[in-house]
Structure 1
């Protein structure tokens, strides 16, 4: 995996807007910072700038809430228009309480509010949805930049407080590393160890990206090693037959 890691924020990136060439922006940022990609480098990119570039910002004034959205909005204290967007991006509501709706996203993620956010969006009265195809977005950026890419978002976790960076898109690296069959420190064969490699990269990058006004949406993680074939972030989603909590 790694003996030592270096995390380098890509400085000076401009605010991203719909239709911007994000690949070109990131390439220019890397070049301006004299960051030359090397083997073992991975670029972690915050979901927000991907969604912004892809035009996933929706004005709430354009949304007509359904009766279900109005009822759930009244129950949770959320704007029914925002609830309508949450429902439209989800396949089921898992749980809800005041100011929180946990859903299964159309991409399979179980997450708060379908990943829809109004922080750091830059436009009042707008909500930002996840990319339509985060793995596809990562693949396009990876091809453009010539290095692996992980698209990150911040998730809460069941039974634990606080959010942490996770991968919602990945290209050019294995999102999962299957260690089963390898020996542990004492020669015992590993039987169940599968590492969420892309999630670990996203969490590490999150320490540099921050969660507020830091303005560091792209972080180069340097010093990684792997030998497994590439797998997209969709492989991180536990399939229904493995889900013990539904």
Structure 2
């Protein structure tokens, strides 16, 4: 893969409706753009096109309920402007915001578009029909958009793939200086999806692009057996270092699981800055979440905790200290009362907090 790569948008594809054939839509775009598929091309299709053609749309006005139905688990959740946003493990495979449930670019139909639960299967079907019609080796990528940990903005990634290597595993090879490569593995399918989005975009009305110049990535038919597709790029099990957000991990350790009714009662952290008063009150509710007998009196710079004995009080102090850490606050307990049933915990931290 050392030559030029070209990316061509396919214009002339009309608004997609339920029952439309994806291969027909691609062929229509090829004709309108004066392009013929060549050996080694990769066809990148926006997931919205597949969702519309497959009728994956709901009119349920409760987006939170829709997201929950399309999710296998909650990774993180935040409140912003009174709206709840959840990062979830989507039934479609990836970890992403709102399980990919989207109300933009839905056309006159409106509603919420849902992602296909088997995006690799969608690619496999489209790949089979396009190769039958055109008689050339092809790769097919179904692209969607998501944010990334530690990076601002969103990029397109491969939601589904078929007929191409999704990962270029360089482990065991050497770099240009002859040094061993032990961890390098390029996510080829994601790179192709992101590159195609440069000509498709979110507001251009161009749902398909053809990437040319990556013939070495496209598989021969005999090599396509037992390939994982894009789902194989999703980290799971012991390789998943980020199964929960940092705050959600602390809350889960204290018995409050993200996405649960208890998490809502304790209070969902805001996405932006928070006041210390709000953070401390939420931390107290989190600390007391599993103890109906404990008490707490929240002051400006301290919390007075009460329990039915020294052991219960010590446990409560430890829970409060852990809960405060979610917002970068610290709790310093003073000497307990003589009966060991109450203690004042001083709270240290800024008045306006930016979550660490």
**TM-score, normalisation: structure 1:** 0.87
Matched ranges for 1:111-122 at <5 A: 111-122=96-107
Does 47-56 or 99-108 show the bigger shift?
99-108
Report the secondary structure of 2:160's partner residue. Answer: strand
| Alignment match of 1:234 (pick from 231, 234, 237) | 231
Matched ranges for 1:97-112 at <5 A: 97-98=78-79, 99=83, 100-112=85-97
Q: Which runs of at least 4 in structure 1 moved beyond 4 Å after TM superposition? A: 227-230
Aligned residues: 226
CA offsets, 1:175-201, max 9 Å, x none?
Answer: 111112222111222211111000000
TM-aligned CA deviation for residue 245 of structure 1: 2.2
* 1:189 pairs with 2:180: yes
Task: Give, in whole Å, the separation in 1 of the partners of 2:71 and 2:183.
Answer: 31
* 1:68 aligned partner: none
1:107–1:25 Cα change, 3 Å: closer
| Alignment match of 1:87 (pick from 53, 62, 68) | 68
TM-aligned CA deviation for residue 42 of structure 1: 0.3
Task: Give, in whole Å, the separation in 2 of the partners of 1:123 and 1:240.
Answer: 41
Task: Give, in whole Å, the separation in 1 of the partners of 2:76 and 2:109.
Answer: 28
Task: Give, in whole Å, the separation in 1 of the partners of 2:33 and 2:195.
Answer: 20
Matched ranges for 1:1-246 at <5 A: 1-60=1-60, 81-98=62-79, 99=83, 100-123=85-108, 125-146=110-131, 147-212=138-203, 214-226=204-216, 229-230=223-224, 231=227, 232-246=229-243
Structure 2 unaligned runs (5+)?
132-137, 244-356
CA offsets, 1:78-105, max 9 Å, x none?
Answer: xxx1111100010111211123211111
Does 223-232 or 189-198 show the bigger shift?
223-232
Is the Cα contact below 8 Å between 2:93 and 2:117 reproduced in 1? no
RMSD value, Cα: 1.6
Task: Give, in whole Å, the separation in 2 of the partners of 1:12 and 1:124.
Answer: 20
Higher Rg of the two aligned structures: 2
Structure 1 unaligned runs (5+)?
62-80
Task: Give, in whole Å, the separation in 2 of the partners of 1:92 and 1:12.
Answer: 39
